[in-house]
Amino acid sequence: MNRKSTRISQPMISIIFWYSKLFPCELLLKGECAMKALVSGGSSGIGAATCLRIAEAALARGVHPMIAVCGHETNISQEHVVRSIQSMGGTAIALAGDLADPEVPSKLVEAAVAEFGGLDALVANAGIASPAAICDLSVEDWDSMFSVNLRGPWLLAKASYPHLRQSRGTACFTSSMSGQLPHAGSGAYSPSKAALTMLAQTLALEWAPDGIRVNVVSPGMTHTRMTEKMYEDPQIKKAREDIIPLARIGDPTDIANVIEFLVSPLAGYVTGQDICVDGGFTKSILSHIPGRPSSKS
């Protein structure tokens, strides 16, 4: 079959060379280099935005995105994310399973690897929340939260490890500002997210000799499907905006942009970090204390 030849200009060659230094792949010029990623909780909110952002960024640097969009169950939202990636020119598959089931994480990874032929990035994003006082929780409540928010990501990481080692890939875990600061009334959510952050940072050290980078993104107040009912109350929304230095509630894309950076070649020297994306809120705590002490009389 005859193929039309394509002339590549000198500036374009320079750009491709620059990207190839950031994202080593001898097949880049042939267009066969891929970014193979699995995103849990990818059906909506931060996860959906992350799937789309990874695909967009990969295509922008001449890399073919191959994204496993994982959700608790197959639904219209998940299918929309898959079709959106495909419409960009990427490859996407929909995978479903309950991360509370200890057999599911490895099956998700196996399915993605079987489809893509490997794995370059794991984004462990799925999580659940259920407000309560700690002492009002049952053992079942506690275990349910930790099974999804901590054990699920651990098992995803464990199953992904041999594939990430082969690709010298990366992993990013979605924690929370509530994992950095104690959040009374959040039930087991705050403890589970604090444990998730420490899990990820421990993996960062254990996997560093294999060339695998591991980081954490901790969202602040963000408008997602899990929080949308709360933000339907204009008083709550306004009160929250008033205590955020940037004066707005975060959008899933705000978080996705940081996750994509951390799993991209641009973050090649970044590992073990917990980046809080919160509009400056957690650094503003002292500004809420009335009065300022002074040594002057």
> Token pair 């928010």 is at which residue?
149
* DSSP string of 60-124, one letter each residue: HTT-EEEEEEEESS--HHHHHHHHHHHHHT-EEEEEE--TTSTTHHHHHHHHHHHHHSS-SEEEE
CA nearest neighbour of 90 among 8, 167, 31, 25: 31
Contact indicator for 170, 263 with CB cutoff of 8 Å: yes
Catalytic residue among 19, 161, 189, 231: 189
Integer Cα distance of 120 and 1 in angstroms: 33
CA nearest neighbour of 72 among 97, 35, 47: 97
Residue 188 DSSP class: T
189 in active site:
yes
Contact indicator for 146, 18 with CB cutoff of 8 Å: no
CA nearest neighbour of 241 among 222, 226, 224: 222
For the annotated catalytic residues, the residue numbers are 189
